[in-house]
Homo-oligomer: A and B are copies of this chain.
Amino acid sequence: MLLTTLYIIGITAEAMTGALAAGKRHMDWFGVMLVASATAIGGGTVRDILLGHYPLGWVANPQYLAITCLAGLFTTMVAPQVVRFHKVFVLLDSLGLIVFSIIGCRVAMDMELSPLICIVAAVVTGVFGGLLRDLICRRTPMVLHKELYASVAFMAGGMYYAMMYFAVPETITTIATLVVGFTVRVAAVQFGWRLPIFKFEEVGKVEPKELDSQP
C-alpha cells in the first residue's frame, strides 16, 4: 500500500524527467509520451523481460502506462515551472530509485532466484529507465558517469534482501531500506560522491585496429 503510493509518485516524477529530455530533442507529443513511459516503466519492463516474468506490470495494469503518458503531456505545459522546482525532482527521483529497487528485488525474491540475481533485479529496475531515456535521446547515459546511482540501487537491493533473509518484518525492512537508501542518494548528489572513473586512451600511433574491430 505504502509502496504502491510511492511507486505512483516515482513513475510520475520519472516520466516528467523523461518528457524534459524529449523536449530538449524537440520531439512531438508521441515522442514525449514514449520517452516519459520508457523512463518511468522501462526499468521494470527490462527486468521482467530478463527474468521472464510475464505479464509485464503495465500490461497487467494499464493505468500505470496511462499515468506516465499523461504525466509526460502535462510536463509539456508546465516545463518552466518544473525546472524551477528541480530540487523537488531530485528528491522524488531519489525516492523513486529506492522504491523501484525494492520492487525489483521483491519480484526476483518471489521467483526464488539467487541473491545476486535479486540484487541485479533491483539495479536493473532502478537504473534501466534512465538508460533507455538516454539511448532514445542519443546522449551518453548519465548513469554511467555521474554520481552514485546504480550503486545506491545495489545497496538498497542488498539491504532489503538481507533483512528479509533474516526474517525482519516486511514493513520494517521496507521503511528502513527507504530511509537509508534515500539518505545515501541525496548525500551522493549533495556531496558529489561518485564511483571511480575509468579513463582509457590508446597511447601513440599503434592503433590496435584488430582489437577495435572485435564486435
Contact = CB atoms under 8 A, between A and B. Distances in A.
A157 B39 CA distance: 24
Interface residues of A, number: 82
Interface string A32-63: 10110000000001000111101110010010
Contact of A135 (B25, B27, B136, B195): B136
A143 B27 CA distance: 9
B136 A29 contact: no
Given A17-B211, A28-B198, A30-B195, 19 more contacts: A17-B214, A22-B144, A22-B198, A24-B201, A29-B198, A30-B150, A31-B141, A34-B144, A65-B116, A66-B116, A86-B208, A90-B211, A130-B215, A133-B215, A135-B136, A136-B144, A143-B215, A146-B213, A149-B213
Interface of A: 14, 17, 19-20, 22-32, 34-35, 45, 49-52, 54-56, 59, 62, 65-66, 76, 79-80, 83, 86-87, 89-90, 93, 113-114, 116-117, 120, 127, 129-131, 133-136, 138, 140-147, 149-151, 189, 194-203, 206, 208, 210-215
